[in-house]
Amino acid sequence: MRVILQRIKRGSVSNLKETRTINQGYYLLVGFNKEDDISKLDYMIDKIINLRVFSDETGNLNLSILDVKGSILSISQFTLYADTNKGRRPSFDKVLGANLANDLYQEFNKRLIQKVPLEQGFFGEYMKIEVENDGPVTIILES
C-alpha cells in the first residue's frame, strides 16, 4: 500500500454529478499493489492520523491532523504503482485488480472516517481534483 500525503488548505474532487470539498487537512493519493491486503490498513491509518506535519505556535512541525481538527480528501490512485523502468509506456502489472482494490479502498476510508472527517473520490471514474497546498508538505508512506 502506498499513500502520497499532502498537507492542504483546501481540496475538492468532482465527477460529472457531484463535488466533495474539505478545508485544512490532508490530500491522500491511495494505491494498492498485488501484495496488499486488509492487514495493512490499520498501520497506514495510524501513521496518517498521528503524523506530525502541522505547525505549532513556534512554527515547528509538531501537530497531527487530530490536533488541528483537520479533514482528509482521499483519492484512489492505481498509477502510484506504475513501473516505468522499461520503455515509455508505464506498466501496471504490480497494481491490484480493480475489484479487490476498491474493496480495500472502501474499507480504508470506512476505518479512517471513524478517526477524522473524510471525503473520498469516485473509484474508477474520471475526476477533477483541485488542491491548495499548504507548505508544500508532501510525504510518501508505504506499508
* 77 carries an active-site annotation: yes
Provide DSSP, 29-48.
EEE-BTT--GGGHHHHHHHH
Task: From the candidates 32, 77, 108, 120, give the one annotated as an active-site residue.
Answer: 77
CB-based burial label for 128 (10 Å; 0-12, 13-18, 19+): exposed
From the list 79, 92, 106, 138, the catalytic residue is 79
Q: Which of 6, 32, 54, 78 is catalytic?
A: 78
Q: Judge whether 78 counts as a catalytic residue.
A: yes
Distance CA 82, CA 65 (A): 29
Written as nine digits, the cell of 30 is 491511495
For the annotated catalytic residues, the residue numbers are 77-79
